[in-house]
């Protein structure tokens, strides 16, 4: 009797975690929207986002998890270096939004799976799978169609693809680093690395005046972006991983571009309306990515 109660309880917890994850991904869909609303360039915008997120995670560690922030110098340097990748990734993401639109930036971000398919075998020293090659061909064709029909946004497309490469590189390296300490501590140092590289960008591009003259409404949006849309989802996702599989997380995260595109279209129909080829190509990419994720998980289960 106790066994069936525990089993039923686990099912309820998994269902609850899946619903919460969808809400988190839906929140992530607003990151591009908020970025477009903020009247700052990409560099000061990301500088503010990381600063707020880092402060919230620091408070979370100090007052909730109470984990030690003391780690080895080698691990610290590795995490700081990894953080520079995510910091640069966010600059390119918001840069793509500023010079094109949210639809282009989020659609091209889906190509991160293409880069991950080639980066994982290199870092984890495994063979490239046929399904990953087929996925890569599908994504390349879809991006080619988007580029052809939306050529006026070519700068945003290139910036978005570069952003996706850094996202994939960060994810693969992060997967390698994830077992080297507590998730919240790893995230803290990675964000710190992102904040350090942002300060260099701020210095060389002389963006400090933009921060000094920031409008009150932009301060509010950055607070929302750094807390509700960055630190909170990162911490919440860590906790949800106790009840759901990485595949469920991956499958859910692939909904982010769809949410972003729909939200942006509702708010800015004139500037976010794209060609039918764009929407078809984006949908095909996301479906292909989900199928690839499903096949990967199925193969892992069969090999156990």
Top-ranked range on mean pLDDT: pick from 23-32, 50-59, 205-214, 259-268: 50-59
53, burial (CB in 10 Å: exposed 0-12, middle 13-18, buried 19+): buried
- Residue 40 DSSP code: S
Confidence of residue 3 (pLDDT cuts 50, 70, 90): low
Low-confidence winner among 46-55, 217-226, 235-244 (lowest mean pLDDT): 235-244
Of residues 93, 82, 76, 84, the one with CA closest to residue 34: 93
- Is residue 112 situated within a structural domain? yes
Q: How far is Cα 209 from Cα 223, in angstroms, rounded to an integer?
A: 19
Residue 12 in any domain: the answer is: no
In a domain, 22, yes or no: no
pLDDT for residue 65: 85
The Cα 34–Cα 222 span in angstroms is 8
Q: Where are the alpha helices (DSSP H) in 100-111?
A: 102-109
User: Residue 175 sits in which domain range?
Assistant: 31-303
Percent of the chain with pLDDT over 90: 32
Q: What is the pLDDT of residues 96-129, one digit of tens each?
A: 999 998 989 888 887 887 787 777 777 767 777 7
Question: Which tokens hold the place of 81?
Answer: 């270096």
Handedness of CA 235, 162, 289, 178 (dihedral sign): negative
Q: What pTM value is reported for the model?
A: 0.85
Q: pLDDT grade, residue 15 (50/70/90)? A: low
Instruction: For residue range 147-169, list pLDDT tens digits in order.
Output: 888 888 899 999 999 998 998 88
Mean pLDDT within 64-70: 88
Mean pLDDT over the full length of the chain: 83
Cβ neighbours of residue 104 closer than 8 Å, sequence gap 6 or more:
96, 146, 150, 153, 156, 157, 160, 274
Per-residue pLDDT band at 146 (split at 50, 70, 90)? confident
Q: What is the pLDDT of residue 160?
A: 92
Query: How far is the CA of 262 from the CAs of 68, 92, 192, 273, in angstroms?
Result: 41, 21, 32, 10
Domain count, the chain: 1
Nearest to 53 by CA among 210, 197, 188, 202: 188
pLDDT at position 124 is 67
How many C-beta neighbours within 10 Å does residue 121 have?
Answer: 15
pLDDT tier at 199 (50, 70, 90 boundaries)? very high
Is 161 a member of any domain? yes
Which pLDDT score, from 0 to 100, does residue 242 have?
66
Q: Categorize the per-residue pLDDT at 302 as very low, low, confident or very high, splitting at 50, 70 and 90.
A: very low
Is 9 inside a domain boundary? no
Which comes out higher in pLDDT, residue 177 or 201? 201
Question: How far is Cα 152 from Cα 130, in angstroms, rounded to an integer?
Answer: 34
Q: How many CA atoms within 13 Å lie on the side-chain side of 160?
A: 26
More confident residue, 130 or 75: 75
31-45, 108-122, 274-288: which range is least confident on average? Answer: 108-122
- Residue 19 is assigned to a structural domain of this protein: no
Per-residue pLDDT at 303 exceeds 70: no
On the 0-12 / 13-18 / 19+ scale of CB atoms within 10 A, 202 is middle
Quick one: pLDDT at residue 304? 45
Predicted local confidence at residue 47, as pLDDT: 95
Mean pLDDT confidence for 3-12: 60
Residue 6 lies in a domain: no
pLDDT at 210 exceeding the cut of 70:
yes
Whether residue 196 is contained in a domain is answered as yes
Provide the token pair at 140.
């390349």
Crossing angle of helices 276-303 and 102-109, in 10° steps, is 30
Lowest mean pLDDT: which of 83-87, 92-96, 168-172, 241-245?
241-245
20 pLDDT exceeds 90?
A: no
């Amino acid at each position: 009797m106790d066994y069936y109660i525990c089993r039923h309880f686990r099912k309820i917890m998994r269902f609850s975690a899946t619903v919460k994850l969808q809400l988190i991904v839906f929140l992530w869909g607003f990151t591009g929207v908020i970025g477009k609303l903020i009247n700052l360039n990409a560099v000061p915008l990301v500088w503010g986002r990381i600063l707020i997120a880092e402060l919230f995670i620091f408070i979370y560690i100090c007052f909730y998890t109470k984990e030690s922030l003391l780690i080895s110098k080698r691990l610290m340097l590795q995490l700081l270096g990894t953080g520079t990748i995510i910091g640069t990734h966010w600059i390119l993401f918001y840069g793509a939004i500023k010079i094109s639109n949210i639809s282009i930036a989020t659609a091209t971000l889906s190509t991160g799976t293409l880069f991950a398919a080639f980066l994982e075998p290199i870092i984890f020293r495994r063979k490239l799978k046929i399904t990953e090659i087929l996925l890569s061909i599908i994504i390349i064709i879809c991006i080619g169609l988007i580029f052809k029909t939306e050529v006026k946004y070519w700068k945003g497309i290139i910036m978005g693809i570069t952003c996706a490469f850094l996202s994939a590189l960060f994810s693969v390296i992060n997967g390698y680093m994830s077992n080297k300490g507590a998730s919240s501590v790893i995230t803290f140092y990675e964000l710190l690395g992102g904040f350090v590289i942002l300060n260099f960008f701020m210095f060389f591009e002389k963006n400090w005046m933009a921060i000094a003259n920031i409008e009150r409404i932009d301060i509010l949006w950055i607070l929302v972006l750094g807390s509700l849309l960055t630190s909170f989802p990162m911490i919440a996702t860590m906790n949800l991983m106790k009840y759901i599989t990485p595949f469920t997380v991956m499958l859910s995260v692939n909904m982010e571009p769809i949410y972003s595109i729909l939200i942006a279209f509702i708010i800015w129909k004139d500037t976010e309306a794209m060609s039918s080829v764009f929407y078809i190509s984006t949908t095909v990419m996301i479906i292909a990515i989900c199928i690839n994720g499903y096949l990967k998980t199925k193969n892992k289960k069969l090999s156990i």
